[in-house]
Amino acid sequence: MPNTSTSYMGLQLRNPIIVASSGLTRSLEKVKECEAAGAGAVVLKSLFEESLANKDFGMKDSLVDHAEAYDYYYARLEKLYGGQEYTDMIREIKANTSIPIIASINCVSTDWWPDYALQMESAGADAIELNIFTTATDLTMDSNKMEELYVEIVSVVKRKVGIPVALKIGPWFSALPHLALEFGHRKLDGLVLFNRFTQPDIDIDAIKLKTSFSFSTGDEVHLPLRWTALMSHYLPYDICATTGVKTSEDVIKLLLAGASSVQVASVLYEKGLGTIGEIVTGLEKWMSEKGFESIADFKGKLNFHAAASPAHYLRAQFMEKISEVE
Ligand SMILES: Cc1cc2nc3c(=O)[nH]c(=O)nc-3n(C[C@H](O)[C@H](O)[C@H](O)COP(=O)(O)O)c2cc1C
């Protein structure tokens, strides 16, 4: 039987399938289900700074006549204890499971990231995933400044914690290869390509805004495939590919492109956690057929540097000869 174990950011995973940050990883019970289903690791549901901002810690009533005092104490308390439920959950999960547990944080203001990261590390998380997304609406902020924000967050968190740190980003960057290398200079341990977000929509009957949500489709896997292949051969850290990963074939392709691991969410919502076992079995079968004993035997074999016809990773226009559609 081939060995499907992989190393991701120095963490040893029994297989490359990580359950992505989602409702599937939001409690001890859920994480135990993922572990029992064969997951290599899990990324916990993100701790969102925004949702903590709505907590009150029971202070509003006692400080009702002292608005300034309330604001002051609230800001400090929130920072110190806001994530406590989350860190309690990490402790509980670590005490009751044995697969690697990656905590996930999403902050809005830059100065909170390192504090939360430290709280996660102290609670026993094996690694941290920084889930960064900022919508560019500030007309005075150019793309350099926007990218600097990402680099700065990676720098401050890496200076604060000793456990591995991954960064999960969306796909909308104009010069990702350069930026990804900058993360490497800040000692990032893993890049997760790519997050998939909810999108805005409009209800034309009520003439109101709403948020659109859908699970990913299998076609979406080609975007992380392209960027994993283009960057995996030179980045000094690991890539974890996500969005649109549905089958063992997808996982094999992403490993061939150079990913160290993959994350899945939608397919598990749609078909159940049993899909993890099916993907691993499919991976083992393919490895046996091809004579590969370990993932290292074929990881990156078709990255941009190694592939015989790497132009496929660059090509994006619909030329008839290639798309076979007129
Ligand atoms: C219901 C749901 C909740 C999610 N919540 C989070 C989250 O809290 N943090 C995060 O980084 N990603 C979150 N995601 C994104 C997933 O982690 C993943 O990156 C994305 O769904 C792409 O993978 P997929 O194609 O397998 O669904 C969520 C996805 C779904 C479907």
66 has pLDDT over 60 = no
Question: How close is the Cα of 218 to the center of ligand 1, in Å?
Answer: 15
d(CA 239, CA 257): 10
What residue segments make up the domains of the chain, in order of their start?
A: 6-323
**How does pLDDT run across 196-255, given as a tens digit for each residue?**
998 999 999 999 999 999 999 999 999 999 999 999 999 999 999 999 999 999 999 999
**How does pLDDT run across 99-140, given as a tens digit for each residue?**
999 999 987 667 778 888 999 999 999 999 999 988 889 999
Question: How close is the Cα of 43 to the center of ligand 1, in Å?
Answer: 10
Question: How close is the Cα of 237 to the center of ligand 1, in Å?
Answer: 22
Question: How close is the Cα of 70 to the center of ligand 1, in Å?
Answer: 35
How many other β-carbons are positioned within 10 Å of the β-carbon of residue 56? 11
Handedness of CA 120, 134, 149, 240 (dihedral sign): positive
Closest CA to 250 of 221, 271, 293: 221
Q: Name the residue at shortest CA distance from atom 29 of ligand 1.
A: 22
pTM of the model: 0.91
Q: Is residue 244 lining ligand 1, measured as CB closer than 6 Å?
A: yes
User: Which tokens sit at 296?
Assistant: 């290292």
CATH architecture designation of domain 6-323: Alpha-Beta Barrel (3.20)
pLDDT at 315: 85
d(CA 268, CA 56): 35
For residue 56, name the pLDDT band (cuts at 50, 70, 90). Answer: very low
Q: Is residue 46 lining ligand 1, measured as CB closer than 6 Å?
A: yes
* Mean pLDDT across 303-312: 91
User: Which tokens sit at 156?
Assistant: 């401050």
Identify which has the larger pLDDT, 261 or 70. 261
Phi, psi of 271 (to 5 degrees): -120, -5
